[in-house]
Structure formats: C-alpha cells, structure tokens
Structure 1
Amino acid sequence: MTNVLSAAADPNATLAAFGHDPFWLVVLKVVGVFAFLVVMTLFSIVFERKVVGRMQNRIGPNRVGPWGILQSLADGVKLAFKEEIIPTLADKPVYWIAPVVSCVPAFLAFSVIPFGPDVSIFGHHTMLQLTDLPVGVLVIFACSSLGVYGIVLSGWASGSTYPLLGGLRSAAQMISYEVAMGLSIVMVFLYSGTMSTSGIVAYQSDHLWNALPLFVSFGIYLIAMVGETNRAPFDLPEAESELVGGFHTEYSSMKFALFFLAEYVNMVTVSALATTLFLGGWRAPFPLSLWAGANSGWWPMLWFTAKVVLFIFGFVWLRGTLPRLRYDQFMHFGWKVLIPLNLAWILAITTMQVLRDRGWNAIAVMLVVGLPIIALIVLWALFDTRRSKRLEAELAAEEAAEAELPPAFPIPPMDLVVPPSPRLVSAGVTSQALPGSSSSLPEGPVNG
C-alpha cells in the first residue's frame, strides 16, 4: 500500500504510486473518468439553464424527467437524430475531423487530474487518478492548445466566411488568454516545488491553500479560464450578432454536439485544474477537515466534485449577469492588463523570496518590494486618470465638430404632408386633408 502521508514531506513522492496498476484497473479508471466528464456535462447544461432561468425569473426546463433534470439528455438524443447538412464548398476530410480534434484533447486533459487519495478497488490499492507526470500541469496545457486546432480547422474547412472569421477570432482569443493562464500558475510551481498535479495537492496539505497567498495569481486564473473556454462575457467567437454562430455555424447533428461537448468538458477541466492548483484539490475545506476521515477513502471525491460545481456556478453566474465585451476591449484587457500584472506579480514575489533567503526580515522586504509597487500603482492610476480625461475631451470635441457639419444625406422637411393614397382618391375618398381643407372620411365601407 502506498504511503500517501509521505507526500507531505516530498510533493514528488506520490509519483511513485503510478504505473503499477493492472490493465483492467487502468481500463476501469479510463471508463470512470469518461463517465464523470459526460455526467458533469449533462449536469452542467441543466444546471446552467436552471440557474439562469431563476436569475431571469423564469421556470427553466421542467418537462423532461423529474424537475426537468433529463432535458440535456433529451437534447443530446435530438442532436444525434437531426439531419446533417454539409456545405458544398466544405473540405470534407478536414470538416469531419475538426470536431474530433476539439473533443478528444478535452477528455485527455483530465487524465492527470487527481480525484482523491489512495483507495482500495477490488483488493488493489491505487490512487484516484488515472496517471501523473513530473510535468502533469503542462500536459493539461498541451491538450488545451491542441483544442485550438479543431476550432481553426472547423472554421476554415466550412467554406464559408462567418465560420472562418469565428475560427480566426477564437484562435487569437484562446492563445492570448493561454499566455495569461500559463503565467498565473508559475507562482504555484515555485511555491509547491513541483509541476505534478498530485504533488501540488500534497504540498497544500501542510500549508495554506494556494488561493490565499497567491490571491493575485488565483484571480488572474479565474479571468483567463473564462476567456480560454469562450464563455460569456468572453464568448466573442460565437457572437450571434456579428458572426451568426462562429466557427461551428455550418455544423449540425452529431458534429455540432461534439463541439458542444468539448466546450462543457473544457469548463469542467479548467474548473478541476483551478481546484487542484489553488483550492487544495480533493482535500476537505476547513470545517470538514477537522474530521479525521474527511481526507481518506472515497469522501474526497465528494469535496472535489463540490469545488468543481462551485466554479461551474461561477461560469453560469457570469453568463447571466454580464454583457459581452467588444473584441478590442477584450484583447486589450488580456495583453495590456493581465499579462503585465502577471509579470509584475511574479517579479515581486520572487524578489521577496530571494531577500528572505538572504536573511532579510519581513519589514525590510516589504519596504524594498512593497513601496516601489505602491508607487508604481499610484503613478499608473494618475496616468490612467489623465488619459481617460484626455480621451473624453477629445471625444467631446469630435462630437461637437460633427454636430456643426452639414448633413451628409438629405433630410425631409419637418412640415412634410403625405399626399393621399391614389387608390382612395380614385374611389372618391381622402384619408388626409390637403393643407387648408378638412378631411373627409367615408361613412360606410369602401369598395374599390
């Protein structure tokens, strides 16, 4: 039996627990992970519709199954039997493989997510995790990067303008926010001393959850994961008012269902990664952690699932409350706010750590690192305030100048009188009097 408690001393010690399971147990784990993701997808769709319905004072799904909980299953069956329409100009091989390229990496990314500690399954002791690597978090990022290819290929292979624009926009968006997401977890690697997902969870067993000391990284990750999954208010690749439906406009039936499945599986994956990196993974929160058996057996799967559902609720909450951003605002926020803030945060924390290692006390470290940061924040706030006022003044001047310009198109006079209908005139009836005369209305039905 693997001694999981030893992982508290060495986060990399849990890696020795993997690679010794029999083949049938590996297959059982694979089926379990697949079933978990499919069930979470069905749950997330109904959960989203129910929560948004409550937020908008609507009932939500209530017809299929008890309390409407089988509505997402009915939608999946409907998509499977819908007619499939393939565009004439589509590149058939790429058009067929693009949904698979988007869906398969979304499932593969979950292979290194830890669900719980060492348990006994039919007499065999194994970790509640499919596998792990010394660079397990990078495996998740590699899989998420492969998902971009499916979106770009689907937009190009459709042979239509709007899917192409949606695919290009989505690629730029996902790459931009992957940079912010990658930088946000650099401090997690430095704090934990490992890039293994099970090692990061083991590190948090004897320390505070990373969300507390690394609150800036946690906040940036929360924003970046919304942009990475193309969810509102960052659902610009699927902006109906601009791009009809985005990269999957020309897809229907099961191919569209695969894109739908990939989106929700990615939501579950980034939520599970946030749970693993920042919220202690499968470990119980504080009140429950006082119970001796809270972090042993099968109970940790319950805590892990509850944390994932909490993040999914955040996705739904954002969709029901925030409007969609403009694309230029969205990209500006990613490249000019999140990434510089990430770099400054990494520089500040690593500087503080180096000074502490050299024997500096906490007050001296805060003076050397904290005061320059505060000064930079104040200067940036003053600069941004002056810049905003200058832009507002320029905009007001442009509006005033445009108001003085003559109209660029003919404007009808305000005292225009519409002439009577020729049909009514020929029938001897006028519906509107000419200037200086009174109107005559028919006393009975008009035949004409």
Structure 2
Amino acid sequence: MATGAVTELHGILAAAPHLGVPTVDNPKADFTDTPWWLSLIKALIIFVYLLISTLLVIWFERRVIGRMQQRPGPNRTGPFGLLQTLADGMKSMLKEDVTPAAADKLIFTLAPLIAATMAFVSFAIIPMGDKASMFGHLTPLQLTDLPVAVLLVLAVASVGVYGIILAGWSSGSTYPLLGGLRSTAQIISYEIAMGLSLVAIFIYSGSMSTSQIVSGQSSLWYIIPAFFSFAVYLVTMVGETNRLPFDLAEGEGELTGGFHTEYGSMRFAMFFLGEYINMFTVSALATTMFLGGWQAPPGIAAINDGMFNQGWWGVLWFTAKLWIFMFFFVWLRGSLPRVRYDQFMRFGWKFLIPVTLLWVVAVAFIRGSQNGWFGTSFITVVNRQIPTATLVAVSVIAVAALAGSWIWDNKRADRLEAATALRRPSEVDPFAGGYPVPPLPGQTLREPTRVAVGAGAPVAGRTTDTSTTVLESTTAQEDGRG
C-alpha cells in the first residue's frame, strides 16, 4: 500500500508541468549551514516559545471573555493578573494525583503524554521567519522541512487522536469512554475536510513544503484565490481542537468532562496543555498556508526593498498573524453556544466534504485554463496524450455525479426525518423511563407518572390508593411533615 502511494505521488509530480502546477528546483528549505547542535537550540526555542504563548493565551482568554461578560477576569496574581496561569499550573503540580481502581494504570498515564507531545511535534515544520544569523551560522528560522511537510502535520494530528481515545478507554468509566469515542469520530471526520481544503493550496503552490508555500505567496497571499478553502479550514480547525462551539467531547451537560473526567493533577494539565498547543499549531498552519506565513503585509513589505521581510522581522509578523487566530478562538468561545453532536457530524460529512471536493475540482480547472488546457487539442497527463474534449467531458460528468449524489442524499435524509417526525407521539411522559427526558420539537408534556411506594408499576396522575407516592413523601420530608 505504501509503495503504491509513493508511485502515485511520483506520477503526480511528473505530470505537474502539464497540469498547470508550477515546479520548484529546491523542494524544501536549505539547512546546509545548520549543524546538529543548532537544531537542538532551535527545538528548545520553539518549546519555550509555545510554553510562554500558552501561559499568555490562557490569561488572554480569561480576560477577554471576562470583558465580554462584564467582569474583570484574573486581576490579582501579578500585574494585571498575568501570573494567574502560572499559579494555576503550580496548583496542578501540588494536587493529589488519583488513579481510578478500574483504570488501566499504564495506558491511563501514557494517554496524556501522547496528547501533549504530539502537539509539539507538528510545530517543527512551521517556518517562523526567513534565514537569520544564529551563532555565526545562516539558518532558516524553522526546525526542519520536508517535501511533504504539510502531510506530516496531518499525520501527527492523527497520532494525537490515540491519546484521547486511550484516555477514555483506560479510565474504566462510562462517560470518559463515550467522550473518547465522540472526540475520535469528530477529529477523524474533520481531518478529511481539512486535508481537502489544503489541496487547493498544493495546486496553486506546486509543493507541499511549508517553506515553498510561503515563498509562493510573495506577491499574492493564497487567502484571496483560495478563499473557500480558508473558510472550510476555519471550521475544521475549531472542530480539530475540540473548542467551543464544537467541544462535544467535553460537554459537561451530557458527559461531565468527557474523556478526561477521571483525570486530575498534572495528568489533566497535560491534556489542557495539548489543547492549547494544538490551537497554536492549527493557527500556525493557517498562517503559513493562507496568510503569507512570516512575510510582512503587502504595504509594509514594499518599504526599503523588503527590509521588513528579512532576518528576525519574520517572527514578529508570524506571531501577530498567529494571535489573530487565537483571538478568533476566544471570540467563538465567548459568543456561540455548543452545537448538537449529530448536527455537527452531519454538517461535516454531508456538506463540508462534498462541497470541498467540488471546490478542488473547480480549482484544478481554473489552474488548467490559466495554462492553456483548453487551447490545444491534446493534453499530456502522466506521459499520455488525452484529447481535451474527452478530459473536459469526463470532468463535467464527475462533478455532476458528485453534485447529484449530494443533492439526492440530502433529500433522502429530509424525507426520512419527516417520516420519523410523523411517527412521534404528540404527547410524552417525561418520567416514563425513570429519568427526565425533554420533549422533541412539536411534542408537549403530559402529567408526569408517579411511582407508588411498594407498587409494581407506575401510576399516571394522582394515585388513589392509600400508599404514599415517592414524590409526596419527599415533599412532606422537605416541609418537616415526614
């Protein structure tokens, strides 16, 4: 399977010049003047950068949401409450660490480590600036780069899912297991739409290397031609990080705390850290793919022949763009309510994925038309001569089939939902099964069923026998009459 994928990738790269995709001589950044010890220093710098950013963004989130809700937020520990996050971290270190008796102790401890460490790995391929001098060496402000660097981010995110599902399973409890399953299904589903949204960027840039993608945006940021991909990515990155309004794996009204319900102390803090680092990672990827990466805004970039695009200036522009996305996360949390799980999954599978597939096909046609696809009678694809009319006809049929299947499936789902609604009773008893159940849309509540003490079956309405009902006896005890 891996050999076939590599062969297919080589075929696509060989056909790139004929598909209207630009090619690059150097498929990744140049690290020839970067010794191994300098790479270790850069890794340490990235680690510290992310830790400090996490401390700041937690304080920033609490202050911004406090202002949105007309309260001050943290303002006691340190100036402006800046040390409150550090104090909370120290409190987590000093709290008692409890492991449930039914938990698998090894996996229970390993799960938060997987979730936290995988979040750091993805940041290794993000370019934070142009080449700069460090300890006498001219090196890119990037830890490493690959010809398929963006795929590394998606692969590492997939490995991070194991931390969540293992945490839910190893806790030996029902709610964590349900939260882990929910989160896994959610992340895997939205990873598909996220990957499809990035395909348009691969077509425009002709590379999957993050450094080459940034270089390709020197004249025009990809957010303009790939505006729809950017919109899809915004939705998927919130779903990927389990943040409001998509924090369905941690819905306290349904699952208590979700997959980390049984965790405390530093093991819980590791999940907390991993979530915020993932927010920075998806924001950094969005900055790299759509907003020109470390490059200055167009007006500033033109000053003094690009002086503000050189050296360490890139770190400033990269960080500023990064924090725009972090404010977006905070703004969503303070503004929107949590969505329903089935609606969220339906939106991902039945809308985002099909529409993004159609968008990718449209982008391929746009790029092809810009490079003379329809001006010649034949097109060379993987060393084969294919008539233009045939290729256009096949493509139009494929797009029509995708659109038709999507419309048919949506109409079928609407018909099934309407048929189900017709079978619903107009009145429901909220306590019929022993637990309070809210009515569905269009239903009304009838008088609750009361269970008599010593009786074998529920009795609707007020009981006529001489026994005291559970509800009445409880009320009597509260009034002091019991």
Which TM bucket (shorter chain)?
Answer: 0.7 to 0.9
> Of 66, 72, 75, which residue of structure 1 is paired with 2:88?
75
Compare 60-69 and 401-410 and name the one that shifted more. Answer: 401-410
Question: Are 1:253 and 2:265 matched, yes or no?
Answer: yes
Tell me the residue number matched to 1:142: 155
1:265 is matched by which residue type in structure 2?
I
CA contact (8 A) 1:288 1:294 kept: yes
Take 2:152 and 2:97, find their aligned partners in 1: how far apart are those partners? 34
Q: CA deviation at 1:411?
A: 2.9
Aligned: 1:153 with 2:166: yes
1:218 counterpart = 2:230 = yes
Q: Deviations over 1:310-343 (max 9, x none)?
A: 0011111111111111110010011001000110
Distance 1:10 1:385 in 2: 43
Moved more, 139-148 or 262-271: 139-148
- On the 8 A contact 1:11/1:192 being kept in 2, the answer is no
Q: Secondary structure of 1:116's partner? A: coil
Residues 88/380 of structure 1: CA separation in 2 closer, same or farther (3 Å cut):
closer
Structure 1's 175 and 381: CA in aligned 2 closer, same or farther, altered over 3 A? Answer: closer
**1:124 Cα deviation after fit:** 1.2
SS at match of 2:138: strand
Aligned residues of 2:198 and 2:229 also touching (Cα < 8 A): yes
- 1:173 is displaced (CA, Å) by 0.5
Cα contact 1:167–1:237 (8 A) shared by 2: yes
The change in CA–CA distance for 1:12 and 1:203 in structure 2 (over 3 A counts) is: farther
| 3-state SS, counterpart of residue 281 of structure 1 | coil
AA in 2 matched with 1:310: I
CA distance in 2, matches of 1:242, 1:142: 30
Distance 1:144 1:275 in 2: 17
Residue type of the alignment partner of 1:257:
A
CA distance in 2, matches of 1:387, 1:81: 52
The answer to whether residue 296 in structure 2 is matched with residue 279 in structure 1 is: no
Q: Could you tell me how far 1:393 is from its partner in structure 2?
A: 9.9
Q: How does 1:4-403 map to 2 (within 5 A)?
A: 11=24, 13=26, 15=28, 17-206=30-219, 208-291=220-303, 292-358=306-372, 360=374, 395=421, 398=424
| Alpha-carbon offset, residue 156 of structure 1 | 0.8
Tell whether the 8 Å contact from 2:104 to 2:170 is kept in structure 1 after alignment. yes
Deviation at 1:13?
A: 2.9
**Cα distance in 2, alignment partners of residues 199 and 31 from structure 1:** 24
SS in 2 for 1:204: coil
Q: Give me the whole-angstrom Cα distance separating, in 2, the residues matched to 1:43 and 1:133.
A: 31
Q: Could you say what secondary structure the match of 2:130 adopts?
A: strand
- State the alpha-carbon separation in 1 of the partners of residues 87 and 348 from structure 2: 38
Identity %: 52
Q: Distance in 2 between matches of 1:153 and 1:390?
A: 35
* Residue identity opposite 2:348 in structure 1: G
Aligned residue for 2:11?
none
Determine the C-alpha separation between the residues in 2 that align with 1:340 and 1:77: 47
Computing the radius of gyration from Cα coordinates, the structure with the larger value is 1
Cα pair 2:92 2:265 within 8 Å, conserved: yes
Distance 2:164 2:411 in 1: 39
* 1:6 matched residue in structure 2: none
CA, structure 1 residues 11+281, in 2 after alignment: closer, same or farther (shift >3 Å)?
A: farther
Change over 3 Å in CA distance of 1:404–1:43 after alignment to 2 = closer
Structure 1 contact 178–224 (Cα < 8 Å) conserved: yes
- Superimposed CA distance per residue, residues 74-113 of structure 1 (whole angstroms, 9 cap, x where no aligned partner): 1111101111111011111111111111111110110000
Q: CA deviation at 1:213?
A: 0.3
Aligned residue for 2:434? none
The amino acid that maps onto 2:302 is L
Task: Name the SS for the 2:28 alignment partner.
Answer: helix
Separation in structure 2 between the aligned mates of residue 111 and residue 17 of structure 1, nearest angstrom: 15
Q: Which amino acid aligns with 1:274?
A: A
CA displacement at 1:12 relative to structure 2: 5.4
SS at match of 2:26: helix
CA gap of 1:165–1:72, structure 2 versus 1, over 3 A, is: same
Q: CA deviation digits over 1:17-58, x for unaligned, max 9?
A: 125412331121011000011011111111111111111111
Cα 1:95/1:381, change in 2 over 3 Å: closer
The residue type paired with residue 318 of structure 2 is F
**Partner Cα distance (1:264, 1:286) in 2:** 30
**Does the aligned pair in 1 maintain the 2:105–2:170 contact within 8 Å?**
yes
- Give the 4+ runs in structure 1 shifted more than 2 A: 9-16, 351-361, 367-370, 376-413
Structure-2 change in CA distance of 1:12 and 1:200 (3 Å) = farther
Q: TM-score, normalised by structure 2?
A: 0.76
Q: Structure 1 residues 396, 55: closer, same or farther in 2, change over 3 A?
A: farther
Indicate conservation of the 8 Å contact 2:97/2:264, yes or no.
Answer: yes
Q: Aligned-pair distance for 1:389?
A: 10
| 2:207 aligned partner, one-letter code | T
Going from structure 1 to structure 2, the CA distance change for 1:324 and 1:13 (only over 3 Å counts) comes to same
1:413-428 correspondence runs (5 A): none
Aligned partners of 1:317, 1:304: CA distance in 2, in Å?
Answer: 20
Distance change (3 Å), C-alpha of 1:335 and 1:19: farther
Deviations for 1:258-286, whole angstroms, at most 9, x for unmatched residues? 11000000000000000000000000112
Amino acid at match of 1:77: M
Structure 1: 5+ residue stretches without partners: 1-8, 362-366, 414-420, 422-430, 432-448
| Alpha-carbon distance between aligned partners in 2 of 1:141 and 1:387, rounded to the nearest angstrom | 31
Give the length in aligned residue pairs. Answer: 401
Cα separation, 1, equivalents of 2:412 and 2:91? 56
AA at the equivalent of 2:365:
T
